[in-house]
Structure 1
Amino acid sequence: MAVVVGFIPTDVGFAALDAARTEAERRGGPLILVNVVRDGVEDDPRHADEGQLDIAADHLRGAAVRVEVRQERTEDDIADVLLRVVEQERAELLVLGIRRQRELGRHLMGLTVQKLLLSSPSEVLVV
């Protein structure tokens, strides 16, 4: 079954990528990396440029499953895009990275993570 990882080009994003690779290999893959770019907010540091996507693809080179790297552009909510990919791919797992802070609850209040945790038709792994 497919594993989808919402990727951002940060240390947290690469930690999520590692966890997603492990899970995809354990579950028989494929692994689908998705970076979402919101139109009109192109300077957001969560948006990966071509070079960062290449680095992520290199990071996954040698995986024991098929790897697909996607960048989705949207005017919609980031969570909606990830949920659509999970549904289209019939993914078994969605992997998300969150910043490390003392209070996990502060992150769960983020709209994107909260929406994904509550709405995903698949299991969700938060790294």
Structure 2
Amino acid sequence: MAVVVGFIPTEVGFKALAAAREEAEQRGGPLVVVNVLRAGVEEDPRHADEQQLEIARDELRRTTVRVAFRQETTEDDIADVLLQVVEEERAELLVLGVRRQNDLARHLLGLTVQKLLLSSPSDVLVV
């Protein structure tokens, strides 16, 4: 069964990528790496450029499972795009990286993560 990871090119995003790789290998993979671009917001730091995607590919070169990269663009909700990919791939696990910048952030999750936790048809691993 597939593992989907919502990837952003940050330290947290690369930790989520590593966790997703381990889960995909344990489950017999494939691993689907998804970076969602917001239409009209080109300078968003969550958008992975070609160099950042190549670094992610390098991190996954030694994996034993098939890896697919998808860059999706949306004008709507990022969570909806990830949920659609989970359904299309029939994924059994969705992996997300969450920033914990301060004590308050440890107790509260962003709206995207909350929606994914509540709506995902698969299990969700938060890193």
**TM-score normalised by the shorter chain: which range applies?**
over 0.9
Cα distance per residue 1:61-118 (max 9 Å; x no partner) = 0101000111111112100000000000000000000012424222x2x110000000
* Equivalent residue pairs, number: 125
For 2:103, what is the secondary structure of its paired residue? coil
Distance 1:42 1:80 in 2: 19
Describe how 1:76-87 pairs up with structure 2 within 5 A.
76-87=76-87
By how many angstroms is 1:4 displaced? 0.1
1:117 is aligned to 2:91: no
Give the structure 2 partner of residue 11 of structure 1. Answer: 11
Counterpart of 2:103, as a letter, is R
Normalising by structure 2, we get a TM-score of 0.96
Separation (CA, whole Å) in 2 of partners of 1:36 and 1:119 = 18
Percent identity between the aligned chains? 76
Question: Are residues 1:72 and 2:68 paired?
Answer: no
Amino acid aligned to 2:94:
L
TM-score by length of 1: 0.96
In structure 2, what is the equivalent of residue 57 of structure 1?
Answer: 57
Which of residues 104, 107, 127 is equivalent to 1:105? 107
What is the letter of the counterpart of residue 29 of structure 1? G
5+ residue gaps, structure 2, are none
In the TM superposition, what whole-angstrom CA distance separates every residue of 1:48-72 from its partner, at most 9, and x where no partner exists?
A: 0111011101110010100011111
How many Å separate the matches in 2 of 1:115 and 1:27? 25
Counterpart code for 1:102: D
The structural deviation recorded for 1:42 is 1.2
Whole-angstrom distance in 1 between the partners of 2:84 and 2:112: 14
The residue type paired with residue 73 of structure 2 is R
CA distance in 1, matches of 2:61, 2:49: 19
Aligned-residue CA RMSD (Å) = 0.8
Structure 2: which amino acid aligns with 1:10?
A: T
